[in-house]
Amino acid sequence: MALFNNKQKNKPELGFGTKNYNKSVRFINQDGSVNVRRTGLGWLNNTDIYHWLINIPLSKLIMVIVLGYTLVNFLFATIYFIIGVNGFGGIDYDNGIQGFFSLFFFSAQTLTTLGYGHMYPISHAASTVAAFESLLGLMSFALATGILFGRFSRPKDSLLYSKNILISPYEGITGLMFRITNKMQYELIECEAVVSISYNDPETKKREFDQLNLETKRISFLALSWTIVHPIDDNSPIKGWTVKDLQDRDAEFLILIKGINDTFSQTVYSRYSYKGTDIVENAKFKRLQQEAGKKGEIIVSVNDIHLFDKVE
């Protein structure tokens, strides 16, 4: 078992506390979200519909909109059917399933304020419900437009991280390294990286945090890829540690990348983490395959950032 470097110093606090959990925990998920679920104030306090709609995948958002639109029209069609088809003019069917479907499509026209004019309410009850549905339609489409604008206008994380973090030979010693690239066509400039390690200390029975020194903390352009390296030298908190040591201590490497999206001139943040099971020892990243295009541009396959070779 390797000797651990237990020099006591002022540890950086990232906001996750120092509790030594009995089970393995992950502070940051690989999709960049913070892996914390807050409870204690009831389900209503924990329900943030706007945040949920902003962050769910686009396919799920479309499903929610279509399902919500269908259910609302079904609800109002049921109310109109209870009022009775006699409260409407221009309806082709007096009752039954055909009459219900006519009222369903009338609800869709009313909700969207479209109104073809073929059907129209003639009773006070039907007119009152139709007026309320029109107001609901105006409000709901305004909210849907705001959600779509919020999704498309917010700064987006476009970084792709290598699947593994490597321990590789580095300038006569070893280095802990991973690789990132921008998977979108716009540019990220003035990129900065902060890498910390979280681990359980078997002596203090607490969770410790250390910030890792990096070979390069900042680059001007993330045009191709960036291999972020932590030299495992005498100042490294993990000097002398083996991969098994990192796994036994439930180590997690917490990564924060900050850059500027030059299209929107907005600062974007990207989070990621690696656990002990993501570490590959005695390996080195392969060089990215680059080609010169017909117009003189550099063509790079971003999926190559995951490739590595084992070394002696």
pLDDT digits (tens, 9 = 90+) for 171-219: 889 999 999 988 887 888 899 999 999 988 888 788 888 899 999 999 9
Where in the sequence is the domain holding 198, given as residue range(s)? Answer: 159-310
- Residue at 245 is within a domain: yes
Q: Are residues 164 and 143 in the same domain?
A: no
pLDDT at 1 over 50: no
Residue 91 and residue 102 in contact, taking contact as beta carbons nearer than 8 Å: yes
Which of 89, 124, 153 terminates a domain? The answer is: 153
At 125 the pLDDT is 92
Q: Are residues 163 and 137 in the same domain?
A: no
Residue 2 pLDDT grade (very low, low, confident, very high; cuts 50, 70, 90): very low
Which of 109, 134, 153 terminates a domain? The answer is: 153
The domain that holds 60 is classified in CATH as 1.10.287.70
User: 241-249: which pairs have CB atoms within 8 A and are 24 or more residues apart?
Assistant: 241/2, 241/4, 241/5, 242/2, 243/167, 243/276, 243/279, 243/281, 245/1, 245/2, 245/4, 246/199, 246/276, 246/279, 247/276, 247/277, 249/199, 249/200, 249/201, 249/202
* Residue whose token pair is 């971003």: 302
Q: Are residues 203 and 131 in the same domain?
A: no
Q: Are residues 186 and 64 in the same domain?
A: no
Q: What is the mean pLDDT of residues 167-172?
A: 88
How high is the mean pLDDT of the chain?
84
Q: Are residues 62 and 185 in the same domain?
A: no
- Residue at 16 is within a domain: no
CA dihedral in degrees (15, 257, 32, 230; nearest 10)?
Answer: -80
Residue 22 pLDDT grade (very low, low, confident, very high; cuts 50, 70, 90): low
**To 5 degrees, how large is the angle CA 222–CA 270–CA 286?**
50
pLDDT at 152 over 50: yes
- Residue at 14 is within a domain: no
pLDDT at 45 over 80: no
Q: Are residues 184 and 92 in the same domain?
A: no
Q: Are residues 163 and 304 in the same domain?
A: yes
Q: Output the pTM of the full model.
A: 0.72
Q: Are residues 220 and 303 in the same domain?
A: yes
- Residue at 29 is within a domain: no
Looking at the structure of the chain, the number of domains it has is 2
pLDDT at 4 over 70: no
Select, from the ranges 21-30, 195-204, 270-279, the one with the highest average predicted confidence (pLDDT): 270-279
Q: Are residues 199 and 229 in the same domain?
A: yes
The domain that holds 295 is classified in CATH as 2.60.40.1400
Select, from the ranges 41-50, 72-81, 82-91, 94-103, the one with the highest average predicted confidence (pLDDT): 72-81
Residue 95 and residue 126 in contact, taking contact as beta carbons nearer than 8 Å: no
